[in-house]
Every structure is written in structure tokens, then in C-alpha cells.
Structure 1
Amino acid sequence: MLKDLEIMSVLAAKDIDRAKDFYRDKLGLEPSDTMEDDSLFYRCGKGTGFLIYQTENAGSAKNTQMGWETDNLEREMEELRGRGVVFEDYDFPGLKTENGVATNEWGKSAWFLDSEGNILNLSQRA
């Protein structure tokens, strides 16, 4: 059933034009489709994708909404920092970052906010 279907994330944006600029200028992504005037669809690796739609509810979630897996976290972070992306630092029970990176037995992870307050993630398996 669902295990064989392609999956996509859905993110909220208060300002769809501001979000489009962020994903283009900071993350280097261009929308592959527009579904309506107030939504954008992006394609990423291996058939994955995500939708951004305009709503006043954007930025209200306090958890990771979407992430990318990489084989070189430091390289991706360096490139994104060069484009102006700021990585978050956390110090919670079970999660502490150093220079934006949390490390555990699973691997390494880093988080940043998009222009709409959505929490996004990069990770690299050990």
C-alpha cells in the first residue's frame, strides 16, 4: 500500500513570494510546478518533493517539518552558510548542538529556519 508510494512534505508560508525567494536564493531550488497562485511544488532527489502553500498558520510548528539526507553534512552547511542560511543551536535533554551540529550514534544533524519559520533539517548517517 503506502510503502510503495512516493511521499512529499507540505510546508506552510505566510508570504509565498518571500518563500519562493528564500528557496531560490538560499537553497538553490526552483519550483517545478505551480498548483495555484498561492502554492509551489519543488522536486528533489530520487523522486521526492515538497509543496509550499500560503496560509496564515505558517511558522507555528515547533518541530522539524522537513529534512534532506546528505553524505557530507559539513560541505552542505558551508555552502548554505555562504548563501546566508543560519543554523540553529539547541541545548535540550538528549539534543545539544555544537556549531549547529548534533552528533549521536545515528549520525549528525543540523537545523535551520526558512523565511516562513519552518524548521528544516540536514542529516548525515554515521
Structure 2
Amino acid sequence: MLADAPVTTLLPVVDLDRARHFYEQSLGLRPVGARADGKFIYACAGGALLALFPRHQGTRAEHTALSFQVPDVEAAVRALEAAGVVFEDYDLPGLRTEGHLCVLGAERAAWFKDSEGNILCVHQDLA
């Protein structure tokens, strides 16, 4: 029923200006613009949209809220670090990163937080 419906990911932000700076300057996302309800929209690949919405409390999620599939995760990590993105490192049961990267099943992934504390990821599918 929804297989052909466009997808919008909603992320809460405390400071919309700070978040916009991060998403535009650090991640290089393409702004679409503000909506009357206060959301700010970005266009992503495949017709997907990302909507930042102001929320006084910010995020409460302790999981990955959004993951970007990239062709070369190591190159993406280097490029994002050069843009000021700080990657997380984990040493947990079932999740241990080395050089910010971890192999999980059929993908390699690295995690970082946006300016508002949302957990984001870049991942590469493995053949």
C-alpha cells in the first residue's frame, strides 16, 4: 500500500538555525525551504525528504534516527570529519568500532550526532 509513497524523515531540533548550519555546512544537504508549520525541509536522494522540526526538549532517541547509504563509507567518514563532523566510537557487546567503523552483518557503518543530539549514520552495503 505504501511502497510507492514518498518518505519524509522527521528529526526534532532545539535550535533550528544551529541545526540548519550543521545540515547545510557539515553534511551538504540541499535546502528546500521552510514550511508554514515551522519545519525546515531538505531534499535527499531518491526523492526522500528530511524535515527538521523545532522541539523544545530535542531528541530522546538512543538509536540511529537516520542513516545515509554511501558507496565508500571510509571516504565519507574522512570527508565529513574534514567538514567538522565528530564520529562516535563504541565498545559494547555486539557493537565495537575501530577507526569509527563497524561491520554489522552486510554493512559497514559509522555513527555521529547532529548539532541537536540526533544519532545519524553513514553506511555502505557490503557485497
TM-score over 0.5 for the pair: yes
Partner of 1:83: 83
Partner of 1:99: 99
Partner of 2:122: 122
Q: TM-score, normalised by structure 1?
A: 0.94
CA contact (8 A) 2:70 2:123 kept: yes
Whole-angstrom CA distance in 1 between matches of 2:97 and 2:123? 13
CA contact (8 A) 2:107 2:124 kept: yes
Gaps of 5+ in 1: none
CA RMSD of aligned residues (A): 1.3
Q: Identity over aligned residues, as a percent?
A: 37
Gaps of 5+ in 2: none
CA contact (8 A) 1:16 1:38 kept: no
Whole-angstrom CA distance in 2 between matches of 1:125 and 1:39? 31
Following TM superposition, the consecutive aligned residue runs of length 4 or more in structure 1 with deviations greater than 3 angstroms are none
Whole-angstrom CA distance in 1 between matches of 2:14 and 2:114? 11
Q: TM-score, normalised by structure 2?
A: 0.93
Whole-angstrom CA distance in 2 between matches of 1:22 and 1:56? 18
Partner of 1:48: 48
